[in-house]
Amino acid sequence: MDKQQNQQRIKMIYQMLFEMATGNFSFRINLTDQNDELEKLSEILNNFAGQLHDIILQSGHINPHYSYQNLVQTTFILDDKFIINNFNAHVPEALYYESKELFQVDFGKFIAPQSFSIWNEKKQEALLDDNYHSTVPLIFITGNNKLLPTFCTISRLRYSDKIIVNSITTILQELLSDTKYEIKTNPEKQLEAVIIQNLYDYILNHLEEPLPTLKELAVQFDSNEYKLKFGFREFFKTSIYNFYHEERLKRSHLMIQQTKIPLKGIAIMNGFNTYLNFYKAFKKRFKYAPSDVERGQNKAV
C-alpha cells in the first residue's frame, strides 16, 4: 500500500479518535485487507466503539454526542514509577477529584478494571523504549464513581525518565457507573432507545443531505411515525427537523471557525442548496452573518 493511502488511513484513525472523544460511538473506520499495525489499531477502535455503543443502549438511555461543547484536554506527567508528578488544570475537572487527591498518586489508581491489562502492557513497553509513543483506549474511574472512556497518547520525554499521558475527552454528566457493565432495563424501553439512538446517529452522519420525510424515516428504522416523532422529542426535547436544522448550523459555525473552506462550500457541505438560504438561516440563528465569524488568519469567503 502506498504512502498516500497510509496517510489517509492515519487520518481516519484520528477522525475516529475525535468522534469517540465527542461521544459519537457510531462512527467506524473502513477496514482494508492489510495485515499491519494500522489495520489492527483500526479494528481495536471499531470494536471498542461498538462495545460502548451497545452498553449505553442496553441501559435504555440515549448517547448524545458532544461535538460542539465540553471537549477538554487532559495532560499527566508521570515519573518512571508511573506516579503522577504534575497535571494540567483540566484533569481535576474531568476526573472529579481535588488536585491534592491526584498529586503524587499512582496513575493506575484511576484506571478502570476493564483497562488494567492494556495499561500494564503499555507501562512495560514505555519502560523499555526511550522513544516510546503509543495511542490506546483507556477507561478512567472518576471521583464520583463514573466511567470515563478516553483515548490516551502515552509518550516518553527525550533525555528524561518522565512519561506524558495526553487525552482529549468529553465531560459527560451521565457516564456509566457499573464497572461490570451489567445493566438491567425494561426491554420495551431498551428497544425504543435503540431506534431513537439509530435515528439520532443517522441525522448527525447525514447533515449534508436533505432530511427524509417522517414517513420515510419510519420505514427506514422499522418503526412508525408516531413513535419516532414523540420518542425523539421525549429523549431530546425537540423535534426531529429542529434538531437536524440546529445541528447543521452548529456544524457550519464550527467549520467557519476552524477551517479554510469557503463559506459557499460550507453551506453545500451542510445541506443548504444555495448560499442565500444558508445565509438567512445562519443569521436568524446566530444574529450575525457567516462572514462575521472570526476565522483567525484566514479571511477567505
Q: Is the pLDDT of residue 109 over 50?
A: yes
Helix (H, G, I), strand (E, B) or coil at 78: strand
DSSP string, 165-231: EEEEEE--SS----TT------HHHHHHHHHHHHHHHHHHHTTTSPPPPHHHHHHHTTS-HHHHHHH
pTM above 0.85, yes or no: no
Taking the C-alpha atoms of residue 2 and residue 11, their distance in angstroms, rounded to an integer, is 15
Architecture of domain 71-170: 2-Layer Sandwich (3.30)
**Helix, strand and coil percent figures for the chain, each rounded to 5:** 50, 15, 35
Return the C-alpha cell found at 159: 533525555
**Number of neighbouring beta carbons within 10 Å of residue 109:** 10
Taken as a whole, the chain contains a residue count of 301
Q: Highest-confidence range of 113-117, 128-132, 165-169, 228-232, by mean pLDDT? A: 228-232
Ranges 7-16, 27-36, 285-294: which has the least confidence? 7-16
Q: Give the pairing of strands 84-87 and 147-156.
A: unpaired
Q: Tell me the per-residue pLDDT of 77-89, one tens digit each, with 9 for 90 and over.
A: 999 899 999 998 8
DSSP-derived pairing of the beta strands 147-156 and 133-141: antiparallel
For the ranges 169-183, 201-215, 262-276, which has the lowest average pLDDT?
A: 169-183
Q: What is the CA radius of gyration of the chain?
A: 21
Asked if 182 contacts 113 with a C-beta cutoff of 8 angstroms, the reply is no
Residue with cell 451542510: 270
CATH fold for the domain made of 186-301? Arc Repressor Mutant, subunit A (1.10.10)
- What whole-number distance in Å separates Cα of residue 94 and Cα of residue 129? 29
CA dist 22 and 205 (Å) reads 14
Mean pLDDT of 208-227: 90
Query: Side chain identity at 85, as an amino acid letter?
Result: N
**Per-residue pLDDT, 212:** 92
Of 166, 149, 148, residue with least CA distance to 157: 166
Intervals of CATH 1.10.10.60 along the chain: 186-301
In the prediction, which pLDDT does 95 show? Answer: 85
Give span(s): CATH 1.10.8, the chain: 3-58
pLDDT of residue 285: 92
Write down the pLDDT at residue 118.
86
pLDDT(283) > 90: yes
**Residue 18 pLDDT exceeds 70:** no
Reduce the DSSP state of residue 280 to 3 states and report it. Answer: helix
Give the confidence band of 279 by pLDDT, cuts at 50, 70, 90: very high
Q: What three-state secondary structure class fits 9?
A: helix
Given CATH 1.10.10, say whether it is the number of domain 3-58.
no
Of 4 and 13, which is predicted with more confidence? Answer: 13
Please tell me the predicted confidence (pLDDT) of residue 87: 92
CA dist., res. 142 & res. 177, Å (int)? 9
Q: What digits encode the pLDDT tens for the residues 21-71?
A: 656 676 678 787 777 887 888 888 888 877 776 666 555 555 555 444 445
- Each residue of 140-190: pLDDT tens digit? 888 877 777 777 889 888 777 889 998 866 554 443 333 333 334 455 656
CATH 3.30.450.20 location in the chain: 71-170
User: 4 Cβ partners below 8 Å, 6+ apart?
Assistant: none
Q: List 168's β-bridge partners, or say none.
A: 73
d(CA 272, CA 249): 10
- Alpha helices of 99-145 — where are they, by DSSP H? 99-102, 116-128
Scan for cell 491534592, then name that residue: 100
Question: What angle (nearest 5°) sits at the alpha carbon of residue 205, between those of residues 50 and 68?
Answer: 90
**What is the pLDDT of the chain when averaged over all its residues?**
79
